A = this chain, B = another copy of it.
């Protein structure tokens, strides 16, 4: 169970790196209440022995848990369990479909419009394209258990958009097929604020024009930093909330003047 040292290419495909397996293991243990709420984790040394890895690997795993807000970490004392936090995967944030399923709702999607046209200057900047490059624009109405919940307007560069255009018009998920086709999502930047419904929003969501909506804009890139999509979602009030964990060690959240 702990023979080869620098492996990862042998057979254990699933979770890949040891520290990820360890992190997953610890996450599960915490979620199951093995250490109790507010309880203390074993020392790094002890974990290293128990899992037959080096202390460095243990620390790597714990860094992940720390970033997710599961445990504290301060010099001189053992780590304390902060919460049994629901760690949502990166993927669940990109895919409305995936998210809906994870909370036990039935996702739905109706594609209202797909167009391919030259990008305007601001769109070029968002997707890092040269002026006039073609883009695909997709407009969809998303539902949770048949109830209209969100309007999704997404821009894709041609390379990605062409794949989307090839999907059936009533496909529930657009993100999953892309992943299957080899598109790798790596980073995203989300901006959350409040807007008022325009007439199109109002018509599709069945709310009053001018009524408040929660807006989430996001820019998704691949591992090389190339933009893959620029999306704007508008949720009806009361359907969604966003939670961010944040610490002195890693600050992922920032606040801006609107």
Contact = CB atoms under 8 A, between A and B. Distances in A.
A72 B185 CA distance: 12
A241 B88 contact: no
A256 interface: yes
B225 A80 contact: yes
Interface in A213-255: 214, 221, 223-225, 237-248, 250-255
A190 to B, nearest CB: 5
Copies of this protein chain in the complex: 2
Contacts of A74: 186, 223-224
Given A69-B189, A77-B224, A252-B253, 17 more contacts: A69-B252, A72-B223, A81-B225, A82-B225, A90-B247, A186-B247, A187-B248, A190-B245, A194-B238, A212-B212, A238-B258, A239-B257, A241-B256, A241-B258, A243-B253, A243-B254, A250-B250
Across the A-B interface, the 5 shortest Cβ-Cβ residue pairs: A212-B212, A193-B241, A88-B254, A252-B252, A74-B223
14 contacts: A69-B189, A80-B225, A90-B247, A92-B255, A189-B245, A190-B243, A191-B243, A191-B244, A192-B243, A241-B255, A244-B252, A246-B252, A250-B250, A252-B253
Interface of A: 38, 64, 67-69, 72, 74, 77, 80-82, 86-90, 92-93, 99, 103, 105, 128, 185-194, 196, 212, 214, 221, 223-225, 237-248, 250-258
